[in-house]
Chain A
Amino acid sequence: MGRSKPIRRKPGWAAIFVLVVLSASLVLIVGKPNYPELGSASRAALRQRAGQPQLVRAEPLPAVEGLQEGMECAWMPASAPSTLLGAFQQPGGPVTAAPASVPIDRAPIRAIRDTYPTYSAVAVDLNSNEVYLQDENLFGYKVFDRLANTPPGAEFSEPKRIVGGINTKLEFNCALYVDPTSGDVYSVANDTMDTLVVFPREAQGNVAPMRELHTPHGTYGIAVDEAAQEMFLTVQHINGVVVYPKTAAGEDEPIRRLAGDRTALEDPHGIAVDPKNGWMFVSNHGSVKNTRPPRVGRFEPPSITVYPLRASGDTPPIRIIEGPRTQLNWPAHLFVDPEHGELYVANDVGDSVLVFRITDSGDVAPSRVIRGPKAGLKNPTGLFVDLANDELWVSSMGNHSARVFMRTADGDVAPMRIIRSAPAGKIALAIGNPGATAYDSRRDEILVPN
C-alpha cells in the first residue's frame, strides 16, 4: 500500500490571465485613472507627477518672538498653559506665547439705561424769565420758559433750548448758577471733566463754552457773592471750599481755601452765601477722613456748617446744625434768603425740602418741611428761591421733573407748576456715573453703585 502524495493545485494561471485582461479592458473602456488635476502653480512650474514625494520649495522659518539665534523653542504640550519650568520661575522667565487677540465687536443683548433727563440742579434767569435745569443723566442743561407747566396728559415738555454734547464739556455736572445781570450760565463739574464751564445766555446745541476754569476734582455746589464778585465751590474729595474771582479762567488758582480737620467739612455738598450777614453755609453728608496721619476715616451725622464768609484755612465753623431733629438725610444744594432769614435745604433721601432759620444751631427741627405725595418730591437735590416772584423751585433727580411751590409752602402741598421731562409717574433709574457692577446670582439681579 503506498502513501498518497498531497494534492497540489497548480496556480490558476488561466484565471490570473483573465483578470489581467479584464483590468486592461476596464481601463480601455472607462479611461485613465481619475488623478486630481495638478494645481496651476505646479503646472506653471512645469512639474510632473513623480509617483513619490518631491521637494517643492524651501523657505526660512518665521521669527519667534523672544527667540534668539541659536536658541531652541521649548517643547510644550498643546494643553499646557505654561512649561513646568516656567511655573516655578519668577517674571523675567518664559513669556506666554499667546495668539493675537480675537476682536469681538457685537451688540449688547440688553441695556439698562434711562433715556430721560434727570435734573440735579435748577436756576432761574429773571431777566429772560427762563428756568435752567441741569441734566446729569444725558449731560447738558435744558432751558424752559419760567411759566412752563406740563399738562397732565402730556408725555413731557419740550425745552426752548438744549445745551449739550461733547464740545460743551458737560458731563456729570451737578450745579448751576445764572448771572443775574448778564445771564451767563455757570455749570459745575462733579467728576470727569474737572472744569467749570460758562456759556452765554443764548447758547444752544453742542457748543464750546465761552470760558473754562480748571477746578479741583469733585466740585459740587456753587454760590456767588455778587458784591465781591467771588464764587464759592465745595470740593468733596478734599473736604474743602475753594473761592475764585467770578471771572476766573484757565488755570487760575483759588484766592482762598477752607479746609482742614477743624473745619468739620465732611463730604461737603451744597453751599450758600449770605453777604448781608457775612456767612457761608455748607451741607455735609458726614463721611470724613483725617487730613493728617493717621489719615483714617470715620462717619459723622449729616450737618449744615456755618462759617464767616471770608473764612479760609483750617477754620472751625461758628455754628453747626446737626442731629436727629434736623431730619437731614444726604442734604444737597442750599439756598439762603437773608431778607426772610431762611435757609433752604434740598434733602435728597428725605424726599423733602427743609427750611431752617439762618441763625439756627445744634439739633433743631426745621421751621418748615415740604414733603408728601402731593408735593411729589423724589430725591430732590436742586433748589432756587425766586424772591422776585416769591416762588421756590425744586428739581428732583428721582422723577425727571422740576416743581414750583409758593416760597412759603409748608407740609404736603401740591406745586403750582410742574415741568416734566418724562411721562407722569416715571421713576428715574438712578444710574449715575456707574463705576462698577456685580451680579447677584441668587436674586438674578445686577448691582450698580453710583
Chain B
Amino acid sequence: MLAGQQTLLSRTMHDIRYDAVHDEFLVTNPFAQAILVFRGGADGEEAPIRIIQGPNTQLQGTGAQAGGVDRLDVDPVHDEIVIPAGDRILVFPRTGNGDVSPLRVIQGPATTLHRAQAIAVDPVHNVIVAGTNRQYKNGYGALLIFNRTDTGNAKPRGIILGPKSEIGNLNQLVTYSPKGWIIAAQTGDSYGKSEPEGVFVGVWSVHDNGDVPPRWRLAGPRSTLKKPRGVALNPKEKELMIADMTLNAVLTFYFPEIF
C-alpha cells in the first residue's frame, strides 16, 4: 500500500495508469493540481519520481470541469501523458518533471470539447478519446475521438453521441489497441445515489461515429455492478477489471469477446 505524507497523494484520485513499457504508474492529485509518476511497485511512504505541476502546465481550477487535473492516460509508445480538462485536452511529455508546458493543447470551438472528464489514448490507431458527462449536449454525454497529434482548434474525427449510445456520465476509459476498442465505465445518473440506473461498462470502436450503441454492454444482476467507475484490461487472461464505487470492490470478469 502506497500512503503517507511523502507520497504527495490526496483523495479524489479518479484515475491511475500503469505504463508497462517503462514500469511506472501515474496518478493525479487534483487538490494540488499535479500529475504524479511513481516507479512500478512503489510501496509504503515512497515519493513520486516525477511531478508535473506549476503555472506553465495550464493545470488550474477544481477538477476537470474547471480546467484542472482529474483523470489521465499515458502513451508509452509516443512518450506522452494526456489530460482531459473540461474544454481542453492537454498533452505533456511523459518524462516531464516540474513546471513543464504542454506539448499540445486541443482547444477551441471546432473541438466541441465541453465537460471532458475522461481520456484514453490508442497509440496504434493514433487517436485520443475523450469522454464527457451528460452536460455535453441535450442531456447526453459523448465520446470524442481526435487524431493523436491534433493541436489547437481541431475537429474530432468522430463523435459518439445519442440515445442509442446510452452515454451519460463517463468515468475511466481504456483502449484495446489491437482491435481498436474503447472500453468505458458509465455510472449513470449517479449524483446522490448509491445504486443509480443506467450503469454499465460499454465497448465502442475508435472508428465509430454518430449515435452508435456499444458493441457489448456489461451490466445486469449477475454482474453485481452498482456504480462502475474504473476499468482496466489484462489481455493475456482476457480479463476486464472494474472498480465499483458502491461496492468498494474491484471485480474481475472474463471477457474474451473483446480480445
Residues of chain A at the chain B interface (Cβ within 8 Å): 66, 81-82, 86, 90-91, 93-96, 98-114, 137-139, 166, 171, 192-195, 218, 236-238, 267, 285-289, 293-299, 301-302, 328-330, 349, 430-443, 446-450
Contact = CB atoms under 8 A, between A and B. Distances in A.
Contacts of A430: 1, 3
17 contacts: A81-B207, A91-B209, A101-B213, A101-B217, A103-B219, A104-B216, A106-B254, A192-B192, A296-B55, A329-B4, A329-B45, A434-B244, A434-B248, A435-B12, A439-B233, A441-B18, A446-B241
B122 to A, nearest CB: 13
Contact of A435 (B1, B54, B57, B245): B245
A288 B217 CA distance: 39
B215 A286 contact: no
Interface stretch (B27-35, B89-97, B126-134): B27-35
A50 to B, nearest CB: 44
Q: Secondary structure of the A side of the interface?
A: loop
Contacts of B192: 192-195
A442 B213 contact: no
A59 B231 CA distance: 46
A307 B66 CA distance: 30
Contact of B242 (A166, A329, A432, A437): A437
Interface in B214-228: 214-224
Contacts of B12: 218, 237, 435
Given A91-B155, A218-B12, A330-B5, 5 more contacts: A90-B156, A103-B220, A108-B242, A328-B5, A439-B232
A443 B40 contact: yes
Nearest to B219: A105
B32 A299 contact: yes
A437 B27 CA distance: 10
A163 B40 CA distance: 41
Q: Secondary structure of the B side of the interface?
A: loop
A66 B16 CA distance: 39
Give the most central of B41, B53, B192, B221: most A CB within 10 Å: B192
B149 interface: no
Contacts of A218: 12
A195 B191 CA distance: 11
Contacts of A438: 16-18, 25, 232
Given A101-B217, A442-B40, A297 B33 contact: yes
A418 B78 CA distance: 54
Given A103-B217, A287-B8, A287-B32, A447 B255 contact: no
A293 B157 contact: no
B31 A289 contact: yes
B253 A137 contact: no
Nearest to B160: A96
